[in-house]
Amino acid sequence: MNQEYMRWFRNFLTILIFLLSMVGCENSSKPKSTVPSTQQTPYQTALPESAPTPSPPPIPFDTKFAWFYKPPENMNIDLLPKNFDLFILTHKDEQERDQLRALGVSSPILQYLLLTEIREPENCDVVPLGNQVAYRIGDFCQISAEHPDWFLLDQFGNRIGTKNGTYHMDPGNQEYREFWLSRAMEMQTKFGWEGVFIDNAEGSLIKFLREGAIPRNYQNNSSYQIAVDGFLTYLRQQYFEPRRQPMYANIVSTENDIVWQRYSKNLDGIMVEAFAVDWSTGYRSTKSWEAQMALVEGALSQGKKLILVSQGDRLDEKRQLFAYASYLLVTNGNAMFRYANADSYNQIWLYDNYLIDLGVPLNPRYKYGLSWRRNFENGHVIVNPVTHTGKVVIN
């Protein structure tokens, strides 16, 4: 009995040691991840144990283009949905807006409105322009007579205006703020708009000082910026945010990035109307270009939509390529681009490099000698802010 028991016990130990060794081998070959080996995260393939941990896959995006502010004059409107992604039109363009919808545009089409400017018509019976909240017949005359305090006055008590009869209004006047919002709400609902694009959110007193005018209620940039920021905050909180209506604006005349960032907190989207290049035929300095690129990247990282507009002549292909390549360095799918001239916004300008399919970006931009480079799935982009040149290269 003892011999049979000892034989059985030795066999049992042998089997047990074999099984334990098999379990040890199996455990040593398993990945440490708690995800079952049959599951894979999107865009990943099974990797050997020695492979480094993969970084998150890039987010696919297409280059996007913006159209504003009137229907095209040099081409048919049916070209817009084929070539542009964001649309801004003006009151009295509702027919063309509805054409775009019929052609398949499903994204919100924004209504253009000036923030603190209204225009004096030839007489009180003339139909006003549709780019302002004082859009009804007789509006200007009534405001002028009954609400003179709504106007922005200079140091001598005179209204601050331009030669074409456009007058600046006081952004800090609460009654004017309420009037603006009431008319904007009226136009949004009555004419079927889906959001607003506000033009000329002034970031300083530069525009007035050039004309020798100092606003009586705003002796410095800071006080005026507080008024404009308060105006934007009021509009967003009272109407656009609760109704989830997009609110975009063109922030102009800024002297530093701080005010731009302050205004942008109340906006879903911001226009940069002199992106990568300056307003004339010149270029930004390398320092100015790099600062603007960093500003744009910061806004995009916060989820803001950006409209990046580069000013230039239609036939200046070198300038266009430099501007477009600069856009490709930073876009993450939330930035729209347009190369145009402020006097020709109603013309469609198309370029062959818009058709290049770079695929998804593989990394952020990085320093590449004196240039900046960004790699894409199908090629790469290089921009030299010193020589003002750009390249879009396909593998």
Q: What is the domain partition of the chain in residue ranges?
A: 64-357
What's the pLDDT at 238?
A: 98
Concatenated DSSP letters of 272-289: ETT-SB-SSSSB--HHHH
Whole-number mean pLDDT of the chain?
A: 87
Cα 59 versus chain centre, distance: 17
* 272-296 residue pLDDT tens: 999 999 998 899 999 999 999 999 9
pLDDT mean over 199-207: 97
* 165-187 residue pLDDT tens: 999 999 999 999 999 999 999 99
Q: Does residue 259 carry a pLDDT above 60?
A: yes
Residue 143 CB coordination number (10 Å): 20
pLDDT band, residue 22 (cuts 50/70/90): very low
Alpha helices, DSSP H, located in the chain:
2-29, 80-83, 94-102, 139-146, 174-190, 206-210, 221-235, 257-264, 286-301, 317-330
Q: Does residue 265 carry a pLDDT above 70?
A: yes
Tell me how many degrees the CA angle 199-289-292 measures, rounded to the nearest 5: 45
The CATH number of domain 64-357 is 3.20.20.70: yes
